[in-house]
Structures are given as structure tokens and as C-alpha cells.
Amino acid sequence: MHRRYKPKIPLYFTWSPNLAYVVGLITTDGCLSSNRRSVIFTSQDIELIGHVKLILNAKGKIGLTKNQKCETYRIQIGNVQLYDWLLSIGLMPNKSLVLGKIVVPDEYFIDFLRGHLDGDGSITTYTDRFNTTKNLKYIYQRLWTRFISASEKHVIWLQETITRLIGLHGKIHKTKINHLGNRMYILKFAKKESLKLLAKIYYSEKIPHLARKKKIYTIFSQKYEKKN
């Protein structure tokens, strides 16, 4: 009989804002290999690969995969203690459809959330002219913040934790079932809640983040403040 695998929780992984951010990235765009030794992180943004490499002091080489649509960067981190620690807080191999709660201390949840947003989330803005046929003045600047996962349980946990810690609710939307028989779950925040949430997520200039996403929020918030 095979003994059930029990991760050995290392003592030196102490929570910090930077570590929580990386956990958020790995939760979305990372995976735990089946060999129980390696953590793999992939992204189209080389900036995020750099954050992971620096914060985890990873020595592995950065790989690059090209196809007709995009370039994807990849780093593999061979660290059994890191692997076991990530297992202990709720991550797992083949996590996409079954992921649930991640055990993140409340004081570092906002940093985890920023990593989650930089990984699979989005910040989008657009000009809404839908009602200009009624009145030419009905032009609205929209802002949406989205957190995305293939696991409904995980998105519900995100929503409940954001509500408990920050007092914002958002709404969960389900996409149509794709050709593989799966659907995505999207936690969406509209303009007013997005402005409050993103102000907390980007609480300092010195914290790691994906520059292109923060820029969208910064430009929108500056215009919004001038109008109000």
C-alpha cells in the first residue's frame, strides 16, 4: 500500500506582502507539477516572470514559447519546501476546476488579491454611448475590475473575503460552457466599487505589480477625480 502523501510544512516561509503577491500569481497562472517537486509559472508578461523570480529567489532559466498569436514565458522552480508549503495553504496539482479557499492571513489578503488580478484578472475602461439616442448627454465612462477562475468555489471565496475585509460585493457571472464542457466564473466590480477596491490594491508605489494594468486604473482615477 502507498502511504498518503503528507506535505512537510517548512518553517521559513513567513508571510509578507511580496510572498502573498506571488501566491496570488501562482494561484492564477501557476501550477504544481505532478512530480511533487516543481512549481511552474507561465505568463505572457515578462514583468510578472521577473517578479516571481526575484521574490522567490528562483535560479531557473526563463523559457519562451512562441506561436502565431502570442509569446508565453515560463519559469520552473524546483523547490520541494515551496511545493509543500503551497499544498498546505490550499493549492494543488490540476487545480483549475476544484480550487477553493487559499489560506492567506487577512493582513496580506490585499497583496494576494493584487497578484490574482495581475495573473488572470483585468481592469478595463470604455466610453458608454448606448443611451445617446435618448439624449446626447448620456455618455458614461465605465470602469470594470474582474477576477476570473474556472472554479466557482474559489470565486465565491474571493467574493466573500472581499466583502468581509473591504465591504465591497461585486457580482459573479458565469460564461457559457465551452467545447471542453467547462465554464469560467467572473467576479466583476463596476466603477464605484472598482475605484475603492483598486485604491486599496495599489496602496503603495513600491509594491510589485503589473505596470500596464495599474496604468489603466491610474489614468481613469485621475480623470474621475478632476470631474468630481
Residue 4 in domain:
no
Using CA atoms, how far apart are residues 187 and 108, in angstroms rounded to an integer?
A: 20
Over the Cα atoms of the chain, what is R_g? 19
Residue 6 in domain:
no
Percentage of the chain lying above the pLDDT 90 cut: 75
Determine how many CB atoms are found less than 10 A away from the CB of residue 168. 16
Q: Which pLDDT band, with edges at 50, 70 and 90, does 104 fall under?
A: very high
Q: Bigger pLDDT: 3 or 140?
A: 140
**The C-alpha cell of 54 is what?**
526575484
Residue 12 in domain:
no
The structural domain count of the chain equals: 1
Q: Does residue 162 register a pLDDT over 50?
A: yes
Residue 104 in domain:
yes
Q: Bigger pLDDT: 3 or 85?
A: 85
The model carries a pTM of 0.89
pLDDT in tens, 18-27: 999 999 999 9
Q: Does residue 201 register a pLDDT over 80?
A: yes
> Residue 222: which domain range?
17-227
Residue 8 in domain:
no
146: CATH: 3.10.28.10
Using DSSP's 3-state secondary structure scheme, residue 105 falls into coil
Residue 193 in domain:
yes
Residue 76 in domain:
yes
User: 75 with 53: CB under 8 angstroms?
Assistant: yes
pLDDT of residue 2: 40
Residues in the chain: 228
CA angle 41, 89, 60 (to 5 degrees): 25
Residue 125 in domain:
yes
Q: What is the mean pLDDT of the chain?
A: 90
Determine how many CB atoms are found less than 10 A away from the CB of residue 97. 13
Using CA atoms, how far apart are residues 162 and 165, in angstroms rounded to an integer?
A: 5
Q: Does residue 155 register a pLDDT over 80?
A: yes
